[in-house]
Amino acid sequence: MIRNFIRLIAVLFAAFAAMVVLPALYGRIPSRGYFTYTKVLYSESLGDFLVARPDYSSRDRRHDESRWTIRDSKGNDYTPEALDTLALLGNASQLIYEERLPSTICGVPVTPEQVAAAEYSMYFGDRGDRDYGLMDLRDGLNYRSRDYQTQDLFRFGREGIEFVDAPENRVDSQKSLRFREALDRAGFVSPYTWAWTPVDLTDAETLGYFLTDSRGALFRMGMCGGEPEVEPIALPEGCRLRNLSFCDRPEFLALALSDDGTIYRMDRDYTFHRLSLPSARHLRVAMHSNLLFRKFVYERNDRTDYYVTDLDFRLLDSCSVARPVRPDAWTSRIRRVLFPLTVSLTPWQGLRFGTPEGWGWLLLNVVWCVALGVLLRRRGESLRKPFVAIDLVITLLLGIYGLLGVLAIPGLGAERNLKNKD
């Protein structure tokens, strides 16, 4: 029985390994290249989106250059030269470099320094970060010191927070007890579920870490002069925090994402304001901010959505650009039918499993299952044996992954062959 159980675990493990390896190997098969580029700008003067696409059919072969088709949401055409006057902030860096930035934008006097200082990008989204367990709590008195103190390393164990005395390879019980008591007084319920720290060095030293406990409540834990600073932070009603993405800007502290994908702005007084943006669940979102507005970019499988807000995050306009179908889409469909169950790991989305293609996948699974049944019968195996039936079920559920998992186990049928020899 133990041997059969080990065999079952080995088959499932081999099937999982195939889910990781096979799609990657298929992706190494060379195919006809295809590339398309779409640039979407927001015109501060028109108050509309400008979508620019290359027109490869009008390529000048002498100079190997392509012309651009530029249209707004109403279908009006524009020349590439018009972008320098219609979407100044979308190309501000180049205009500043060429000393062609005008002195006013939409009637507002500006300087190159003001425009450059207000321009920044921020990327945030669903949590997929890796937790290495050991963290470094900077002391608020070490303002911009960049002083790394090994006695400030901590982790969360079964007993709660533990500060590690690295040179002595032991837990600092006294310091750990002070922080545990401070967390208990603030209402923190162990164990913790996640921890974040600001990206800005000044904020990291003065604020410390933001923690969520087992109930999903949010706390700030800092340290000043070796003593703990812990305070609870009120979350919006019904919000269970999933991720915090900090920004090193004075306007706000972070963007927060709830479990249902709602986005909140977290100000420096720790208040939250819900943004009128669609759900960002399982998505990686980019925010590009400038002197007059902020542009949010949602990358989806079949399209890219753009949302423009004012500097106070009030929604102004939106635009959706579909991704063109690749000419070799039939090869992608074959891949999805053959290898639909894919496994991927990214910093933003964590461990993800691909979804099957539907009836094509189910039909192919039946074919693999029948093929395995024929192979087992040719080996002289009885299909009524429990673990032979399990092999067939695994193949039926996992398709080619299950088939390779069953065939990858060495010595299948070896016990029967030995008995026949005897």
Alpha-carbon span 270 to 198, nearest angstrom: 13
Give the tens place of pLDDT for each residue, 8-23. 888 888 888 888 788 7
- Each residue's pLDDT tens digit, 292-303: 999 999 988 788
Cβ distance 370 to 355 under 8 Å?
A: no
The residue among 300, 336, 398, 359 whose CA lies nearest residue 27 is 336
| Mean pLDDT over the full length of the chain | 84
Q: What pLDDT does residue 66 have?
A: 61
Is residue 148 within 8 A of residue 136, CB to CB? The reply is: yes
pLDDT for 25: 76
Regarding pTM above 0.85, the answer is no
List pLDDT tens digits, range 52-87.
988 766 555 444 456 788 999 899 999 888 888 899
DSSP 147-197: ---GGGEEEEETTEEEEEETTTTEEEHHHHHHHHHHHHHHT--SSP-EEE-
Amino acid at 147: D
Q: Which tokens belong to 278?
A: 């669609």
Q: Residue type at 131?
A: D
Which helix (H) or strand (E) segment is 340 a member of? none
Instruction: Name the pLDDT band for 411 (thresholds 50, 70, 90).
Output: low
pLDDT greater at residue 336 or residue 52: 52
Contact criterion met (CB below 8 Å) for 242 and 257? yes
Distance CA 81, CA 313 (A): 30
**Cβ contacts of 364 within 8 Å, gap of 6 or more:** 337, 338, 399, 400
**pLDDT tens digit sequence for 365-395:** 899 999 989 988 887 788 878 878 888 888 9
pLDDT at 277 over 80: yes
Determine the pLDDT at residue 72.
Answer: 92
Percentage above 90 pLDDT, the chain: 40
The model's confidence at residue 272, banded by pLDDT at 50, 70 and 90, is very high
Residues in the chain: 422
Q: What does the domain layout of the chain look like in residue ranges?
A: 1-34+326-416, 123-283
Q: How far apart are CA 264 and CA 270, in angstroms?
A: 11
Read off the pLDDT of residues 260-271 as tens digits, 9 standing for 90 and up: 999 999 999 999
